[in-house]
Amino acid sequence: MIASIAEIKQHRTNRQARQVKSLEIALSDLRERRSQSAHAFTDFQQWRRRESDRLFAELAGKPASLQEVDDYNSRVTYFKVQSNDLASQLKQIQAQETAAEQKLQAALDQLKAAQRAQEKFAILAEDFQGALQQNRIRLEEQQAEEMAADSLRCPAGATAGFSLGMEASR
């Protein structure tokens, strides 16, 4: 029974280890996504500044119509919206990464607890098997001693009959 419980604890530990591995992979993927998102955000910010400066230089270098100024303002506004979207995506991925880190830490804690429980039951199973083995040995020794004692003891009638038989032959 204890060996069965130890085996169950082993399976739980293995399952928890697989979950930890899965969470580590998911966290690694999130970190990669965050890195790509941060890089895309930074690249877009740099491009946006250059493009806004270029568009402004085009507009400032000549007399501009009201339509051209509106187009410039629309583009700059669009750039800001795109920048805000990228920043929002980055924050969302960072929040997911933080949640995944916490989930992984909780799974690691559960894995450690499962490993400790497994070790305790493995030791208990070994101790139990050792005690059973010692008990078997003790019982075998006790039975051997009883058999030896029985073989040394002669039944009372057997001794009396032997001595009577001796007296009759005299």
Encode the chain in three state secondary structure: CHHHHHHHHHHHHHHHHHHHHHHHHHHHHHHHHHHHHHHHHHHHHHHHHHHHHHHHHHHHCCCCCHHHHHHHHHHHHHHHHHHHHHHHHHHHHHHHHHHHHHHHHHHHHHHHHHHHHHHHHHHHHHHHHHHHHHHHHHHHHHHHHHHHHHHHCCCHHHHHHHHHHHHHCC
For each of the chain's 170 residues, which pLDDT tens digit applies? 777 887 888 889 999 999 999 999 999 999 999 999 999 999 999 999 999 999 999 888 888 899 999 999 999 999 999 999 999 999 999 999 999 999 999 999 999 999 998 888 888 888 888 888 999 999 998 888 888 888 777 555 555 555 545 455 55
Fold category of 2-127 in CATH: Helix Hairpins (1.10.287)
pLDDT score, position 31: 97
Instruction: Look up the pTM and report it.
Output: 0.66
Domains of the chain, by residue range, sit at 2-127
